[in-house]
Chain A
Amino acid sequence: LAKTTQPISMDSYEGQEVNITCSHNNIATNDYITWYQQFPSQGPRFIIQGYKTKVTNEVASLFIPADRKSSTLSLPRVSLSDTAVYYCLVGDTRAAGNKLTFGGGTRVLVKP
């Protein structure tokens, strides 16, 4: 299983862009990179998933360099409600037999 490393915490201010980088040096060919958001007392929520280059949806962008050994989640113009823990997950989310594990996540605090 590919191990991931993320910063433990990050602070930001409302309206700023937040970029969280995840390192995954031993990512496998079939692995995808997925990010989840978790608010206190709630289950994680899927944000975005990608394999290579750039993926964008209404919530975030995911940048993946050519070597795929890292990825960056970008949250544009954050608000107070974006304060949460963000998890980077690496694995083959197509396969039925996959057991994906979560790392410690990055605690993002958005200040007024």
Chain B
Amino acid sequence: NAGVTQTPKFQVLKTGQSMTLQCAQDMNHEYMSWYRQDPGMGLRLIHYSVGAGITDQGEVPNGYNVSRSTTEDFPLRLLSAAPSQTSVYFCASRRTGSAPYGYTFGSGTRLTVV
């Protein structure tokens, strides 16, 4: 049981490049989300999904796209990287249902845009 797996762990991009951050979970969790964390700051929600084929925006969605074609995968796409997107990105998942469940987080992707 691997939990939430994020790839790559580190990435350097040039301004204007695009890339996809991968996130996969093997716990059959319905809910998945992407957060970014800037140095010394808390986490800010980018996008989230409540199931395959369903996504919605969080607090800071501009410049990012997501899709959820399967329960397991929730990739985050940077359309045209900007230095302001330099951050650590965390993917998280949780169950949903009649009981409250906590999030399981991945280990993060550290992105630098130059």
Contact = CB atoms under 8 A, between A and B. Distances in A.
B8 to A, nearest CB: 15
A34 interface: yes
A36 B103 CA distance: 9
Interface size class of B (residues with CB under 8 A): 20 to 34
Report whether over half of chain A's contact residues are helix, strand or loop; otherwise say mixed: loop
Contacts, number: 70
Size class of the contact patch on chain A: 20 to 34
A73 to B, nearest CB: 14
Given A43-B90, A99-B58, A34 B42 contact: no
Given A43-B92, A96-B96, A103 B42 contact: yes
Interface of A: 32, 34, 36, 41-46, 49, 51, 87, 92-105
A-B residue pairs, 8 tightest by C-beta: A43-B105, A46-B102, A93-B100, A96-B96, A96-B50, A102-B43, A32-B100, A104-B42
